[in-house]
Amino acid sequence: MSKLWGGRFQKETNELTDEFNASISFDQEMYKEDIQGSIAHATMLGEQGIITPEEAQLICDGLKEILKEIEEGSIELDQSLEDIHMNIESLLTQKIGESGKKLHTGRSRNDQVATDFRLYIHNISNKILKELKQLLVLLLNKAESYLETLMPGYTHLQIAQPVTYAHYILCYYQMFYRDYNRFVQVKKESLRELPLGAGALAGTTYPLDRKLVADLLGFEGVKENSMDAVSDRDYAIDFLEACAVVMMHLSRFCEEIIIFNSSEFNFITLDDAFTTGSSIMPQKKNPDLAELIRGKTGRTYGNLIALLTTMKGLPLAYNKDMQEDKEPVIDSYKTVLNSLKIFQKMFETLKVNANRAREAMEFGFINATDVADYLVKNGLPFRDAHRVTGEIVIYCENKNKKISELNLDELSHFSPKFNEDVFSAINIDKIVETRDLIGGPSSKINKKLIEKYRKMIKSLD
C-alpha cells in the first residue's frame, strides 16, 4: 500500500495497478532536479519557521549526500516505489529519521513535479544549445572553405541557377541559428514562473515564502494562479516543438547529403567511419547515419503530437494523464542530442567533389535566367525576354547544344538585342560573383556574412 495515501484505503492496491501507475522507470532522469527543488523548499521552510532551522539543515545535508551517492552509483533506486519523488523522500527518511518526513510540508506532488520538470527542461535545453552552438561554428568553418566552390542550385529538384557551397551551407546556418533561439526561449520560459507553493491546486495555509524559493532555484517569479501552476505544460510542448523543428532541419540536410552522395550526383563523399556496407552487395557504401537521422525525425513529431493530444481535453486542474508528459520529452531530448552529435561528426569529415558539381552545371541550362536578364538590360521587357529565352532553350534541346555553345548569329536569330558581350554575361563564374546584393551567393557577400556570424556566435548565451 502506498505510504502517501495508505490511511484512506482499507486494502492493498492491485499489483498491476502499482505497475501501471508507476513512473520511476523514466522520471528517475529528474533525480538531480528533484533534490535541487527539495533543498530550496526545505531551506524556505526553515527560514519561515515552519520547521526548525536545525531540521531544515539536517534535511538539506541529507539530500546533498543522497545526490552524491546517486551520482557515484552507490545508491540503487527502488523500482517498487512509484516515482523519483517517493524514492528521494524514502531515502532521506532512512538517512536522517523522522525529520525526513517533514520535507513534504506545504507542498503537493503536483506542484513538486511541475517544478522538477521545469528545471529538467531548462537543463536539457542547455545541453542541446551547446551542441547547436558547436554545429553553427562547424557550418561557418565549412562555408569558409568553399566560398568560391560552385554547385548547382535547385528548385523542384531541377537544376535552376548556380550558387556556391558556402551559400548553400549558410542557408542551413540560418535554420540552425533559428533553432538555437527557439531553445533559448524554451530555456527562459521554463524558469519564468515557479509552480512550487501552489499545492495540489489551491495553495496552502502555511506561510510559505515562494519568492525565496524562486530566487534559490533561478526562477524569474512565481505562478500567480495555483490551478495554472499545476496544470500548465505549455513549456514542455514548446520544448517538443523546438525538438521537432530542429530535427526537421537536420532531416532536410540529411536528405540532400543522401542525394548528393549518390552515384548519380556524386557531389560529396562521406567518410568510411560514418557509412555502412551491405550484407550481400560488396560495392555498397550506404549513408545509414544520415538516413537514421531522417528516420528519427518522425518520432519527435510523434512526441509533440502525443503531448498535445494528452493535454487537449483535460479539465482543470491536475490529472494523472499528465504523467504522460515525461517520456515524450525525455525521448525527444535524447534523439535530438544524439542526432546533433553524430551529424556534426559526419558533416565535419564530408568532402566536396567540386569538379563533379561543376560538371553538373553544364546541363539543365543553368544560365538561362541570365540570358533573359541580359536582354532586359538591353531594353527588352522581361516577359518578352522570358519568352525569347524559352525559345532558345527549345532550340538548344533540338540541336543538343548548351546556350554557351551558340554563336552570335544563332542568338541574333531570336533577338537583335544580343551582342558579343552576352558570352561574358552568361559565364557561370561571373553569374555568381555579380549576384552581390545582400542575400546573394557571391563570395564577397558570404565572406562578410561569415565574419558577421562569427561575432554573433561569440555573443550567444
Q: Is 163 helix (H, G, I), strand (E, B) or coil?
A: strand
Alpha carbon separation from 434 to 163, 426, 444 (Å, rounded): 11, 11, 10
CA torsion sign for 425, 430, 432, 434 is negative
The three-state secondary structure class of 28 is helix
> What is the rounded distance in angstroms from the CA atom of residue 196 to the CA atom of residue 213?
8
Segment 263-311, tens digit of pLDDT: 999 999 999 999 888 788 878 889 999 999 999 999 999 999 999 999 9
Span(s) in the chain for CATH 1.10.275.10: 16-105
User: Which part of the chain has CATH 1.20.200.10?
Assistant: 110-359
Spelled out in words, what is the top-level CATH class assigned to the domain 16-105?
mainly alpha
In this structure, the number of other CB atoms found within 10 A of the CB of residue 320 comes to 9
Give the residue numbers annotated as catalytic, written as ranges. Answer: 156, 278
Name residues whose C-beta falls within 8 Å of residue 91's C-beta, 6 or more positions apart in sequence.
Answer: 66, 75
C-alpha–C-alpha distance, residues 381 and 265, integer Å: 37
pTM of the model as a whole: 0.92
pLDDT score, position 9: 55
Strand partners, 151: 163
What's the pLDDT score for residue 2?
Answer: 45
Please state which CATH number belongs to domain 110-359.
1.20.200.10
Grid coordinates given for 289: 547515419
User: C-alpha grid cell for residue 13?
Assistant: 492496491
Statement: residue 4 has pLDDT above 90: no
Question: Would you say 392 and 367 are in contact if contact means Cβ atoms under 8 Å apart?
Answer: no
| pLDDT of the residue at 8 | 55
Q: With 60 as the cut, is the pLDDT of residue 196 above it?
A: yes
Residue 152, all three cell numbers:
548547382
Of 301, 419, 446, 426, nearest to 370 (Cα)?
A: 426
Q: What's the rounded Cα separation, in Å, for the pair 442 and 335? A: 36
Query: CA neighbours within 13 Å on the CB side: how many for 152?
Result: 26
> Residue 337 corresponds to which cell in the numbers above?
542530442
* Residues 432, 165: Cα–Cα separation, whole Å: 11
Cell numbers linked to 180: 538555437
Closest CA to 247 of 191, 288, 286, 303: 303
**C-alpha to C-alpha distance for 114 and 127, rounded to whole angstroms:** 20
**Binning pLDDT at 50, 70 and 90, where does residue 461 land?**
low
